[in-house]
Amino acid sequence: MTTLDLVPGMITTRSELVEAFGGSVYSGGIVPANKSDMVFVYSDPAVGEKFGYTFDGQAEDDEFGTLYLYTGAGGKGDQELARGNKTLLETATNGQEVHLFVADSRVPGKKEVRQRYVGQVVLDPIEPYEVRWSPVGDGTSRRIIVFRLRPAEGAELLLLEQDAMKPAAQTTVIELSLEQKLAKLPAQFGTKGKKTEQHSTPETTANITVGTRKVRRREGQLVKAFESYLEEAGHSFKSFQITIEGEPGALTPDVYDETDHVLYEAKGQTTRDNVRMAIGQLADYRRHLHDVEKLRVAVLLPSEPTPDVKDLLAAQRIALVYRTEDGFDGFPIPTLTS
Over residues 278-302, the pLDDT tens digits come to 999 999 998 888 777 789 999 999 9
Q: What is the pLDDT of residue 58?
A: 92
Q: What is the pLDDT of residue 185?
A: 58
Whether residues 142 and 27 fall in one domain: yes
**Cis omega (within 30 of 0) on the bond before 332?**
yes
Per-residue pLDDT, averaged over 233-254, amounts to 87
Band (208; pLDDT cuts 50, 70, 90):
very low
Q: What is the pLDDT of residue 200?
A: 31
Domain stops at, among 169, 201, 233: 201
Q: Which residue has the higher pLDDT, 306 or 206?
A: 306
Per-residue pLDDT, averaged over 113-142, amounts to 87
Strand partners, 303: none
Q: What is the pLDDT of residue 206?
A: 35
How far is 169 from 58, CA to CA, in rounded Å? Answer: 18
Domain stops at, among 177, 201, 225: 201
Residue 184 resides in a domain: no
Per-residue pLDDT, averaged over 251-270, amounts to 92
How far is 170 from 151, CA to CA, in rounded Å? Answer: 31
Q: Is 13 left (phi over 0), alpha (psi -120 to 50) or beta?
A: beta
Residue 47 resides in a domain: yes
Whether residues 260 and 130 fall in one domain: no
* 102: pLDDT strictly greater than 50: yes
Q: What is the pLDDT of residue 330?
A: 96
Q: Which residue has the higher pLDDT, 26 or 90?
A: 90
Where are the extended beta strands (E) located within the chain? 11-13, 30-33, 38-43, 57-58, 68-71, 97-106, 113-123, 129-135, 141-151, 172-176, 188-189, 194-195, 237-243, 255-257, 262-266, 296-301, 319-324, 327-329
Apex 28 CA angle, 128 and 131, nearest 5: 30
Whether residues 226 and 322 fall in one domain: yes
**Residue 219 carries which DSSP code?**
H
Bridging pattern class, strands 97-106 and 38-43: parallel
Q: What is the pLDDT of residue 315?
A: 96
* 262: pLDDT strictly greater than 50: yes
Q: What is the pLDDT of residue 187?
A: 46
Q: What is the CATH number of the domain that holds 120?
A: 2.30.280
Q: Which residue has the higher pLDDT, 308 or 53?
A: 308
Whether residues 17 and 152 fall in one domain: yes
| SS3 per residue for 112-179 | CEEEEEEEEEEECCCCCEEEEEEECCCCCEEEEEEEEEEECCCCCCCCCHHHECCCECCCEEEEECHH
Domain of 281, in residue numbers: 214-329
Q: Would you say 251 and 174 are in contact if contact means Cβ atoms under 8 Å apart?
A: no
- CA 149 vs CA 240, 254, 266, 338: distances in Å: 24, 23, 25, 47
Residue 174 resides in a domain: no
The domain tally of the chain equals: 2
Residue 301 resides in a domain: yes
Residue 5 resides in a domain: no
Q: What is the CATH number of the domain that holds 274?
A: 3.40.1350.10
Domain stops at, among 201, 228, 256: 201
Residue 163 resides in a domain: no
Q: How far apart, in Å, do the first and last CA atoms of the chain sit?
A: 76
Over residues 157-193, the pLDDT tens digits come to 999 999 998 888 788 888 776 566 555 555 443 333 3
Q: What is the pLDDT of residue 325?
A: 93
Whether residues 112 and 231 fall in one domain: no
Band (244; pLDDT cuts 50, 70, 90):
confident
Whether residues 108 and 228 fall in one domain: no
- For 86, other C-beta atoms within 10 Å of its C-beta total 17
Whether residues 94 and 224 fall in one domain: no
Whether residues 21 and 142 fall in one domain: yes
Whether residues 29 and 123 fall in one domain: yes
Whether residues 154 and 237 fall in one domain: no
* 2: pLDDT strictly greater than 70: no
Residue 165 resides in a domain: no
Residue 276 resides in a domain: yes
- Percent residues over pLDDT 70 in the chain: 84
Q: Which residue has the higher pLDDT, 24 or 242?
A: 242
Q: What is the pLDDT of residue 212?
A: 54
Whether residues 16 and 146 fall in one domain: yes
Q: What is the pLDDT of residue 214?
A: 59
Least confident of 35-44, 139-148, 326-335: 139-148
For residue 221, what are the contacts with CB-CB under 8 A and spacing of at least 6?
none
Q: Would you say 302 and 323 are in contact if contact means Cβ atoms under 8 Å apart?
A: yes
Bridging pattern class, strands 113-123 and 319-324: unpaired
Bridging pattern class, strands 296-301 and 262-266: parallel
Bridging pattern class, strands 129-135 and 141-151: antiparallel
Whether residues 42 and 111 fall in one domain: yes
Band (141; pLDDT cuts 50, 70, 90):
confident
* 108: pLDDT strictly greater than 90: no
